[in-house]
Amino acid sequence: MKKLFIDFHVIQTVPPSCVNRDDTGSPKTAQYGGVQRARVSSQCWKKAMRQMFKDYFDESTLGVRTKKIVDMVAEAILSLDETKDEDDAKKLASMIIEKAGVGLKGNDKTQEMEAKALFFMSKKQAECLASLALENDSPTPKEAKAAINAGYGVDIALFGRMVADDPSLNTDACAQVAHSISTHKVDNEFDFYTAVDDCSNEDHAGAGMMGTIEFNSATLYRYATVAVHELFRQIEDLEVVGKTIQEFTRAFILSMPTGKQNTFANQTLPDSVLVCMRTDQPINLVGAFETPIKSGGEGFVNGSCSMLREYAQSAYMSFAEQPVNTFIVGKYLLDLGKPVNMQELLSSLKEETMALLNLTAQ
């Protein structure tokens, strides 16, 4: 099968906010082009995307990242065989999970068995393990590994799974999400706040509490790519792949991490979206902002979109092939591709993806 990549480029302005914090509570930053940029980590935005998936995918098609995989498999065992009690189900679950190569340990507080590290497993995989445990008293490790690798959740296929104990349980990620960075220089600021005790005496003038919250505001460049051919290889269902691309698109463009949302209400939409379908290689266009954008009192969106347009045209002319399809959402970047609204983008990408996969599979 020929390669097919879908690249997503988003320019999005976020007002005063603390979307993604480091270990000191400060908004994450990065040095790029010799200046400090605002940064939102890829894992932060992927978590927001996975949360949005729950609204658009059936629960059975999604994975769960947890240490409590024994409970997941035991629950599946009890649903398949009502004669089993909870203790027997957990013993069976522990047995089949360890046969599959996942290390378990006892939780010091609950005394329950759980995975040594967070494990990404779909409901379907838990059911496959449960069925094998009930049907076979002494399954081989090979059979257990086949069960735990069957029925990938769409998010496991997209974002991958890494198992240090047994690399044979690893799943290659079909999607990559870049750390979002500001297109311009950013300095963090501090909000000093005080809180009044509502039940204090009337003559009490002091604050009941005080502190500071660090924040910044930025126009971000966000990038992600999906290797659609690899997604199809793992899922093997054309309709499911089309649906997965559709919902990945929706979640990447419209999701927002929840850090300090109650404090800043930073629920913004993108200013412009560029989506490219490519058959050569994925291309991150962040180089457009290696020289930081200057505001000049007119904001950063216009300048950011202008530099993105110029850089993309230069890249296509000098180094890479033109995309086979390009879609634009928003009033900027219109000369780079076909203007569509969000609903048209979702339906067009699904249809074009399925059509190109059909074509490349022949």
235-271 tens-digit pLDDT? 888 999 999 999 999 999 999 999 999 999 999 999 9
Q: Residue range 191-198: average pLDDT?
A: 82
**pLDDT score, position 210:** 81
291-338 pLDDT, tens digit per residue, is 999 998 899 999 999 999 999 999 999 999 999 999 999 999 999 999
Q: How far apart are CA 71 and CA 52, in angstroms?
A: 24
What is the C-alpha to C-alpha distance for residues 250 and 256, in angstroms, rounded to an integer? 11
What is the average per-residue pLDDT within 177-195? 93
Dihedral sign from CA coordinates of 64, 67, 73, 79: negative
Query: What is the model's pTM?
Result: 0.91
Residue 362: pLDDT band (50, 70, 90) is low
Q: For 86-117, b where at least 16 C-beta lie within 10 A, e where not — what string? A: eeebbbbbbbbbebbbbebeeeeeeeebbbee
Q: What is the pLDDT of residue 186?
A: 96
Q: How far apart are CA 75 and CA 133, in angstroms?
A: 13
What is the rounded average pLDDT of the residues 73-86? 91
**DSSP summary character for residue 260:** T
Q: Which amino acid is at 348?
A: S
- How much is the pLDDT for 360? 62
pLDDT for 203? 66
Percent of the chain whose pLDDT exceeds 70: 98
Which residue type does 246 have? Q
207: confidence class by pLDDT, cuts 50, 70, 90: confident
Would the pLDDT of 152 be above 60? yes
Q: What is the pLDDT of residue 299?
A: 93
Query: What number of other Cβ atoms are within 10 A of residue 60's Cβ?
Result: 11
Spatial distance between the Cα atoms of 92 and 83, rounded to a whole number of angstroms: 13
Q: Distance (Å, rounded) from C-alpha 179 to C-alpha 174? A: 17
Rg (CA), the chain: 24
Q: How far apart are CA 46 and CA 20, in angstroms?
A: 12
Cβ partners under 8 Å of residue 75, min gap 6: 89, 126
State phi, psi for 78 to the nearest 5 degrees: -65, -35
CA 298 distance to own-chain centroid = 32
Residues in Cβ contact with 362 at an 8 Å cutoff, skipping those fewer than 6 apart: none
**Cβ(73)–Cβ(133) below 8 Å:** yes
The arithmetic mean of pLDDT across residues 190-211, rounded, is 77
Please give the Cα distance from 102 to 118 (Å, whole number). Answer: 11
Q: Is the pLDDT of residue 201 over 80?
A: no
Report the amino acid identity of residue 111.
Q
- Let me know: does 94 contact 104? Beta carbons within 8 Å: yes
